[in-house]
Amino acid sequence: MSGVLSIIVVEADRDRALQIVDSLRLAGDFDIQVIAEPTSLARQIQARQPDVVLIDIENPSRDILEELALASGPMDRPVAMFVDRTEEGLSTAAIEAGISAYVVDGMKPDRLKPVLDAAIARFRMFQRMRTELAETKKALEERKVIDRAKGMIMKARGVGEDEAYALLRRTAMDQNKRMADVAQALVTAAGLLS
């Protein structure tokens, strides 16, 4: 196990894969390959014989890699999920960042650390982006439904925009509910009655 460390990144999203590869390249000189296709993942990995496999923890195909941990034939390379007992925390950090690493048994932690550090940093960023995206989407949807409810109140009661908004807000406060929920209830009810 000397020479350049070979790494396989399992990632279907091309942009994410490129970003991971870029961060790994900054961390050192590695031989990096990307597998995008989950089909016959185990066989693809066995054929390429990497030292390290990195995979998103959210990827359901991860279970396929567990088979590699069981490979015992003379031609198979033993692979284990990376559980570092020496440096408590590195694998916990990896799991919290949303990444799993499979490594060839017996690899020294100091060879692996730069790889994992770079991957962890990148995956943390992905996780932040995922949360931000979800939050933004939710906020946008809520604004849309509030606008719709506002329009319905304006039409039904013949009031202006500000007054309709104020009414919506007051109702939400009185009922101890979020404005988006009150608006959604109104839109749903109107849909049922029309």
Partner 1 sequence: MRGVSIPVGFMPLVDAAPLIVAQEMGFAAEEGLTLALRKAPSWSSLRDMLSFGQVDAAHMLSPVPVATALGLGGAGMPLSVLSVLSVNGNVIGVSAPLADALRAMGHDFAFGDAEAAGQALIGAAASRLRIGVPFPFSMHAELLYYWLTALGLPAPQNVDIRTVPPPLMADAIRAGEIDAFCVGEPWGSIAVDQGHGALLLPGKAIWSFAPEKVLAVRSDWAGAEAGLSGRLIRAVWRASRWLARPESRALTAELLARSDYLNIPAEVIDRALTGMLTISPGGVLRSVPDFVEFHKGAAGFPWRSQGSWIAMQLASRTGLDRSRAKAAGAEVFRSDLYRAALKETEADLPGASAKLEGANAQAQEVASQSGTLILPRDRFFDGRFFDPAEDF
- Which positions lie near partner 1, rule CB under 8 A? 38-40, 42, 57-67, 69-70, 80-81, 83, 91-92, 95-96, 100
CB 57 within 8 A of CB 100: yes
Nearer to partner 1, 9 or 164 (CB): 9
Task: Give the list of residues 6+ apart from residue 36 with CB closer than 8 angstroms, or none.
Answer: 11, 12, 14, 17
CB 30 within 8 A of CB 72: no
Nearer to partner 1, 65 or 180 (CB): 65
CB 32 within 8 A of CB 142: no
- Closest contact distance (angstroms) between CB of 174 and partner 1 is 25
- Closest contact distance (angstroms) between CB of 107 and partner 1 is 15
Nearer to partner 1, 38 or 114 (CB): 38
- Closest contact distance (angstroms) between CB of 59 and partner 1 is 7
Tally of CB atoms within 10 A around 33: 15
Nearer to partner 1, 61 or 171 (CB): 61
Distance of alpha carbon 182 from its chain centroid, rounded? 31
